[in-house]
Amino acid sequence: MQNIVVVGGYFLACLLALLIAARWILRNHPALREPDPAEPEAGAAAADRSEPPPA
């Protein structure tokens, strides 16, 4: 019975550590951050503003 309690405690501790690490990564990883709305997008919006080629 004592072994089941110990293994269960380790399982819960590892699960808690995994959840905390995943939360930290989601908050702090630079690739997962949303771009700032003030920055202009370089793509379709920039192509729309360009002048047409001379005829």
pLDDT tens string, the chain, 55 residues long: the values are 999 999 999 999 999 999 999 999 999 988 887 776 776 555 555 555 666 667 6
Token code pair at residue 15: 């699960």
pLDDT value at position 41?
Answer: 58
Identify the residue whose tokens are 């989601």: 26
Specify if 4 maps to a domain.
Answer: yes
Write down the pTM of the prediction: 0.54
| Pairwise CA distance, residues 5 & 37, whole Å | 50
> Does 40 fall in a domain?
no
Do the domain assignments include residue 14?
A: yes
Give dist(CA 20, CA 6) in Å, integer: 21
- So what's the pLDDT on residue 33? 79
Per the domain annotation, does 51 fall within a domain? no
What is the total count of domains within the chain?
A: 1
- Yes or no: say if 26 and 32 are a contact pair by the CB < 8 Å rule: yes
Residue 46 lies in a domain: no
| Any domain includes 15 | yes
Domain that holds residue 18: 1-27
> How many whole angstroms separate alpha carbon 26 and alpha carbon 32?
7
